[in-house]
Amino acid sequence: MDWFKCINNCFKWGCYTPDDVRKFVGYEKITAEQFKEITGEDFATPSEGTSGTTDGSIGSEQVN
């Protein structure tokens, strides 16, 4: 099976989101480079950290 072609077509048809395609990198069916080719987005690995800054709080309430 040509995983790249199948995943690429499903993404183009709107069946897969970028998050769906990202899972196939984890399943080792496509590479991070192929992810970028399909979605146009860079593949961020968990080791790259959070996507934004945080205030260091935990939970849903802030204590002053």
Structural domain contains residue 49: no
pLDDT of residue 27: 97
Tell me, yes or no, whether 27 lies in a domain. Answer: yes
Q: How many domains does the chain have?
A: 1
Domain membership of residue 58 (yes or no) is no
Question: Which tens digit of pLDDT belongs to each residue from 4-46?
Answer: 999 999 999 999 999 999 999 999 999 999 999 999 999 987 5
Q: Which domain holds residue 12?
A: 3-42
Cα atoms found within 13 Å of the Cα of residue 35, Cβ hemisphere only: 21
- 63 occurs within a structural domain: no
| 13 is a domain residue | yes
Winning range, highest mean pLDDT, from 19-28, 44-53, 55-64: 19-28
Residue 54 has pLDDT above 90, yes or no: no
Compute the C-alpha angle 59/60/64, nearest 5°.
90
Alpha-carbon Rg of the chain, whole angstroms?
16
